[in-house]
Structure 1
Amino acid sequence: MTPSRSAIVTGGARGIGRGCALALARQGFDIALVDLLSKEMDRTRGEIEALGRHALCFEADTSDFARARQVVAEIQTAFGRIDFLLNNAGKAQPKGILDIAEDEYDRTIAINLKSCFNYIHAAAPLMLAQGGGRIASISSLNALSGGVTAAVSRFAYATAKAGILGMTRALAKELGPTILINAVCPGLIETELAKNHVIIERGAQLAREGIALGRVGKVDDVAQLVVFLATSEPCFITGQHFVVDGFQYHV
């Protein structure tokens, strides 16, 4: 019998994180969810357990370095190993350079970029000690494009998401060959966050005018790539970023 594998999903309560957590559970992973949205996180835990997998919930601000170390240690104790880390926690920032305050910029960087450092810093030593592991971090198409007119894509958000790509390339060199680390850059994906920012209302127009595949992306489009990065054997891929946008060529 194949031993159970375990995964940490930050920002796993809803949206892309929830979809990836469920997809990983279907592949036999026990899941540890890390989020501040306790009600939504409990719902996702129930869905994971309905798939026959173990699930843990940790209410935590992912930008908190000390809390990250505590959470990862508790997950290691509970599951015995950590096979996959998905850094998914993120925060929109609609303000431009002329409007944003220093604390708003700092918070955007902390949630979108520093949180990745926090959880990699905590999990990587454990993965190295157990002989291997994999990490994926959710960046954004905006890391490559500099952002568009949508509310989540102004410069601070794009800056943080671009930082994930540099971190991924550098850590692939530091942690290889034992740990594989890659990044995923979603384009316009239909999630609760996107709906809250009225992005999906523009979806039909975007599909006609600027997405080659003619539709807005779904959470499962991202989740299937994340599952591949977590499970593919053999895997000769590290330090890379993968764009999931249906070829969003004019937005």
Structure 2
Amino acid sequence: MENLFNLTGKVAVVTGASSGLGADAALAYAKAGADVALLARRVEKLEAVKEEIEKTGRKVIAVGCDVTKEESVKEAMQTVLDTFGHIDILLNNAGVAVRGGVDSMSVEDWDKSFDTNVKGIFLASKYVIPQMKERGYGKIVNIASVNAIIADKQDMFIRHSYNASKSAVLGLTKGMACSYARYGITVNAVGPALFESEMTSGTLFKSEQFLNGYNAVNPAGRPGNRGELNGTVLYLSSDASSYVQGQFIVVDGGGALV
């Protein structure tokens, strides 16, 4: 049977690829046969990810990019196109989680969430979609969050700008999916729950009280393990999902069910 998850000959761009879920996904793309462009602000941290991907034998480049700045994104995508000639897959993974409720957070923190989590997807897609339209093919995967559809009342987990920005990602995903399906481009979103990453290891994973509470209400009884998001990302990035459009797949151990 044909391997529908085979990405040989494809070029994947991963934003926020310097650590965590982005780094894991980039390596998964390479293992599936794709060449990979790693984008992040911290170029020095991309080097370790680049070295791991080079071990797979795939071609990989590390490109400095601030997804909140249009010129930075434009230049980064042009570098990718100059290197590989085309882009087949865009994983919009760059994101931030700013704590605070609307009664206490600053306007700056609110804007930071939307600039990275929503504007970043807009800018990256803006400079990738035109060549996808020309070629009649493209796979765009936007990393949202389970917190796009649920919220938490625990003080340490109140992140209203995060909830709002990740919900906005779902609206943007649906709009893009409807507009670009005619060009052979699929656009879908993934909603991870709690995974250990650079973003969470120094905060949520340090709180025994929080983890005990999370595990008690989550049907799986635990957070996500490293690599458990890769299957969903690969599915939506491959021809296995050729007729899947504008969908939101939650990867949360069943947490959104309770």
Range into which the TM-score falls when normalised by the shorter chain: over 0.9
- Distance in 2 (CA, whole Å) between partners of 1:170 and 1:130 is 21
Q: Which residue in 1 is equivalent to 2:3?
A: none
Question: Do the aligned residues in 2 keep the contact of 1:150 with 1:199 (CA within 8 Å)?
Answer: no
Q: Which residue in 2 is equivalent to 1:109?
A: 114
- Distance in 2 (CA, whole Å) between partners of 1:113 and 1:150 is 24
For the structure 1 residues 232 and 147, does the alpha-carbon distance in structure 2 shift closer, same or farther, using more than 3 Å as the test?
farther
Q: 1:70 aligns with which of 69, 75, 79?
A: 75
Q: Which residue in 2 is equivalent to 1:7?
A: 12
Q: Which residue in 2 is equivalent to 1:161?
A: 166
- Distance in 2 (CA, whole Å) between partners of 1:16 and 1:113 is 18
**Does structure 1 residue 182 correspond to structure 2 residue 200?**
no
Deviations 1:57-95 (A, max 9, x none): 111211111211111111111111101000000112012
Q: After TM superposition, list the pairs within 5 Å mapping 1:28-177 onto structure 2.
A: 28-149=33-154, 151=156, 154-177=159-182
- Distance in 2 (CA, whole Å) between partners of 1:7 and 1:63 is 20
2:246 partner amino acid = G
Q: Which residue in 1 is equivalent to 2:217?
A: 210
Deviations 1:184-212 (A, max 9, x none): 00011121221111336447524641111
Unpaired runs of 5+ in structure 2? 1-6
- Distance in 1 (CA, whole Å) between partners of 2:163 and 2:116 is 13
Q: 2:253 aligns with which of 237, 246, 249?
A: 246
- Distance in 2 (CA, whole Å) between partners of 1:169 and 1:198 is 31
For the structure 1 residues 10 and 208, does the alpha-carbon distance in structure 2 shift closer, same or farther, using more than 3 Å as the test?
closer
Question: Do the aligned residues in 1 keep the contact of 2:8 with 2:33 (CA within 8 Å)?
Answer: no
Q: Which residue in 1 is equivalent to 2:242?
A: 235
- Distance in 2 (CA, whole Å) between partners of 1:169 and 1:207 is 30
Question: Do the aligned residues in 2 keep the contact of 1:210 with 1:250 (CA within 8 Å)?
Answer: no
- Distance in 1 (CA, whole Å) between partners of 2:150 and 2:135 is 38
Total equivalences in the alignment: 250
TM-superposed deviation, 1:150? 7.0
Q: 2:23 aligns with which of 18, 25, 28?
A: 18
Deviations 1:114-171 (A, max 9, x none): 0000011110001111120100010001110134537565100111111000000011
- Distance in 1 (CA, whole Å) between partners of 2:146 and 2:235 is 19
Unpaired runs of 5+ in structure 1? none
- Distance in 1 (CA, whole Å) between partners of 2:257 and 2:139 is 33
Cα root mean square deviation, aligned: 1.9
1:80 partner amino acid = G
- Distance in 1 (CA, whole Å) between partners of 2:23 and 2:158 is 21
State percent identity of aligned pairs: 29
- Distance in 2 (CA, whole Å) between partners of 1:115 and 1:250 is 29
- Distance in 1 (CA, whole Å) between partners of 2:32 and 2:155 is 34
**TM-score when scaled to structure 1?**
0.93
- Distance in 2 (CA, whole Å) between partners of 1:133 and 1:238 is 12
- Distance in 1 (CA, whole Å) between partners of 2:155 and 2:103 is 17
Q: Which residue in 2 is equivalent to 1:225?
A: 232
**TM-score when scaled to structure 2?**
0.91
- Distance in 2 (CA, whole Å) between partners of 1:218 and 1:45 is 22
